[in-house]
């Protein structure tokens, strides 16, 4: 469904920026179907933007996915398009924003540095590459343009790394980190259900979790309703990662946790 273009940014909706970007796309491809994923990524927060893409894109049809969280706009950072194994194109700044989602779409098969100005608007404003570079390129990709026409190929290994990697598995624990905090104050981790299962933990178990300098006891369950109000839980988030939360409350407020904080999930203790 190449006519599909998704759009994610930290632009908010109180300014003209989102509407302008969509207008540029539609001026090139009037039949484009533009789906807004979110425009309320906190300003400059690459990690949050990356998580939103990671969580959302596997549930959307194959298409062109434009993402702009770009504190380096106008500097020497590269503008890139990534062709993924599933058939999608991911388009945005080379700052790690795109890579977690690309992995969930089968990985990067080809990557290109956007340099062919024939696909840009002119003049290119140094602080609005979303309008003058990314929007027209997205529109041309949706019309069937080959990204190989748009610039030199890059090795995937040369792209700026993702904001986080996968949690490390030890003999008796999984060493994770907080990669996102959702609006309810739950801590989304870079740990996956299979890693928890390999520790020997099963639904209904009481689990010791290290957060910061302390430890808490949580229940490994599927839903918030399985524990009493105010009780902490470890569960599989709808995005597919493991998360820590509190029924009816905010674990982030309770613990003072922030993205990047270390979390240790311990295996069964005698």
> What value does the mean pLDDT of the chain take?
96
pLDDT at residue 57, rounded to an integer = 98
Last residue of a domain, one of 134, 158, 182: 158
Residue 63 has pLDDT above 60, yes or no: yes
Residue 96 has pLDDT above 80, yes or no: yes
**215 & 119 share domain:** no
What percentage of the chain reaches a pLDDT higher than 70? 99
**125 & 15 share domain:** yes
**12 & 138 share domain:** yes
**140 & 180 share domain:** no
Tell me what the mean pLDDT of segment 155-182 comes to. 96
Last residue of a domain, one of 136, 158, 180: 158
**136 & 180 share domain:** no
pLDDT at residue 239, rounded to an integer = 95
CATH number at residue 139: 3.40.50.10790
Last residue of a domain, one of 131, 158, 185: 158
CA separation for the pair 144, 28 (Å, rounded): 12
Tell me what the mean pLDDT of segment 20-32 comes to. 98
Task: Provide the domain limits for residue 125.
Answer: 4-158
- Tell me: the pLDDT tens digits for 3-13? 999 999 999 99
15 is a domain residue: yes
163 is a domain residue: no
CATH number at residue 211: 2.40.30.90
User: Could you tell me whether strands 242-246 and 168-169 are parallel, antiparallel, or unpaired per DSSP bridges?
Assistant: unpaired
- Tell me: the pLDDT tens digits for 196-249? 999 999 999 999 999 988 899 999 999 999 999 999 999 999 999 999 999 999
**138 & 245 share domain:** no
Tell me what the mean pLDDT of segment 29-39 comes to. 97
- Tell me: the pLDDT tens digits for 105-156? 999 999 999 999 999 999 999 999 999 999 999 999 999 999 999 999 999 9
- Name the pLDDT band for 1 (thresholds 50, 70, 90): low
In three-state form (DSSP H/G/I as H, E/B as E, the rest C), the secondary structure along the chain is CCCEEEEEECCCCCCCHHHHHHHHHHHHCCCCEEEEEECCCCCCCHHHHHHHHHHHHHHCCCCEEEEECCCCCCCCCCEEEEEECCCCEEEEECCCCCHHHHHHCCCEEEEEECCCHHHCCCCCCCCCHHHHHHHHHHHHHHCCCCHHHCCCEECHHHCCCCCCCCCEECCCEEEEEEEEECCCCCEEECCCHHHHHHCCCCCCCEEEEEECCEEEEEEECCCHHHCCCCCEEEEECCCCCEEEEECCECHHHHHCCCCCCEEEEECCCC
141 is a domain residue: yes
Number of domains composing the chain: 2
């Amino acid at each position: 469904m190449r006519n599909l273009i998704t759009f994610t940014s930290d632009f908010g909706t109180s300014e003209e920026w989102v509407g302008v970007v969509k207008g540029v796309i539609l001026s090139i491809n009037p039949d484009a179907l533009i789906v807004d994923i979110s425009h309320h990524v906190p300003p400059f927060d690459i990690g949050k933007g990356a998580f939103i893409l990671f969580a959302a894109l596997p549930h959307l049809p194959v298409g062109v996915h434009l993402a702009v969280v770009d504190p380096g706009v106008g500097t020497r950072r590269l503008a890139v398009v990534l062709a993924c194994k599933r058939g999608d194109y991911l388009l945005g700044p080379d700052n790690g924003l795109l890579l977690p989602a690309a992995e969930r779409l089968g990985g990067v098969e080809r990557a290109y540095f956007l340099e062919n100005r024939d696909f840009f608007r002119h003049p290119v404003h140094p602080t609005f590459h979303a309008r003058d570079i990314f929007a027209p390129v997205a529109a041309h990709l949706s019309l069937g343009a080959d990204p190989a026409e748009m610039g030199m190929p890059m090795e995937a290994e040369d792209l700026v790394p993702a904001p986080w990697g996968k949690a490390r598995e030890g003999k008796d624990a999984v060493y994770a980190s907080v990669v996102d905090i959702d609006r309810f104050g739950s801590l989304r981790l870079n740990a996956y259900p299979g890693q928890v299962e390999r520790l020997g933990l099963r639904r209904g178990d009481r689990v010791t979790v290290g957060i910061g300098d302390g430890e808490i006891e949580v229940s490994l369950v599927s839903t918030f309703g399985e524990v009493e109000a105010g009780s902490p839980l470890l569960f599989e988030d709808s995005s597919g990662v493991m998360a820590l939360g509190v029924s009816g409350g905010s674990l982030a407020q309770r613990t003072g946790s922030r993205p990047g904080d270390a979390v240790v999930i311990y295996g069964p203790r005698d």
